[in-house]
C-alpha cells in the first residue's frame, strides 16, 4: 500500500472521528518520514537502462511500470521523444517507480 493510500485511510478515520486531529497529524508525519530513500545504485541502473535500452522501455520495466514499458516497446520509446523526457526526469530526480516513490540520486 502506498503512502498516499495510507494517508487517505487516516483521513477517513479522522472524518469518522475514530482518531483525533493530533493522532492524524502524528501518523501522517510518521508515514511521510518513513518512506525509505531509493538507493543510489537503483538510480544508476535506471539511468543506464534508459540511456542504453530506453527505446524498448527497459528502465520502465525495471521500476515496475510494465504497462508504459510495453507502450514504449511498441512505439520505440515514442520515437525517441518519450525516452528523452524520461532521461531528463531521471537526471533531475523526478522519475518515479510504480509506487510513486522518486528514484533520486542520494
For 26-74, write each residue's pLDDT tens digit. 888 887 776 555 555 588 999 999 999 999 999 999 999 999 999 999 9
Whether residue 51 is found in the same domain as residue 88:
yes
What is the predicted pLDDT for the residue at 62? 93
Greater pLDDT, 100 or 36: 100
Residue 103 lies in a domain: no
Whether residue 30 is found in the same domain as residue 60:
no
Per the structure, the complete domain to which residue 8 belongs is given by 3-34
- Strand, coil or helix: what is 97? coil
Whether the CA torsion 33, 18, 2, 101 is positive or negative: it is negative
68: part of which helix (H) or strand (E)? helix 66-79
User: Closest Cα partner for 31 from 12, 13, 7?
Assistant: 7
Whether residue 65 is found in the same domain as residue 83:
yes
What is the predicted pLDDT for the residue at 28? 84
Q: How many domains does the chain have?
A: 2
Whether residue 46 is found in the same domain as residue 77:
yes
In whole angstroms, what is the distance from residue 13 CA to residue 24 CA?
A: 8
Instruction: Work out the average pLDDT over 70-89.
Output: 94
Q: What is the average pLDDT value for the chain, to the nearest integer?
A: 86
Amino acid at each position: 500500500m502506498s503512502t498516499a493510500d495510507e494517508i487517505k485511510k487516516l483521513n477517513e478515520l479522522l472524518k469518522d472521528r475514530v482518531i483525533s486531529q493530533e493522532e492524524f497529524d502524528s501518523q501522517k508525519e510518521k508515514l511521510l518520514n518513513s518512506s525509505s530513500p531509493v538507493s543510489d545504485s537503483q538510480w544508476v541502473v535506471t539511468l543506464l537502462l534508459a540511456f542504453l535500452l530506453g527505446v524498448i522501455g527497459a528502465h520502465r520495466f525495471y521500476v515496475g511500470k510494465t504497462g508504459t514499458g510495453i507502450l514504449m516497446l511498441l512505439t520505440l520509446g515514442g520515437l525517441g521523444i518519450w525516452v528523452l523526457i524520461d532521461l531528463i526526469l531521471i537526471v533531475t530526480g523526478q522519475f518515479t517507480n510504480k509506487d510513486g516513490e522518486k528514484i533520486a540520486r542520494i
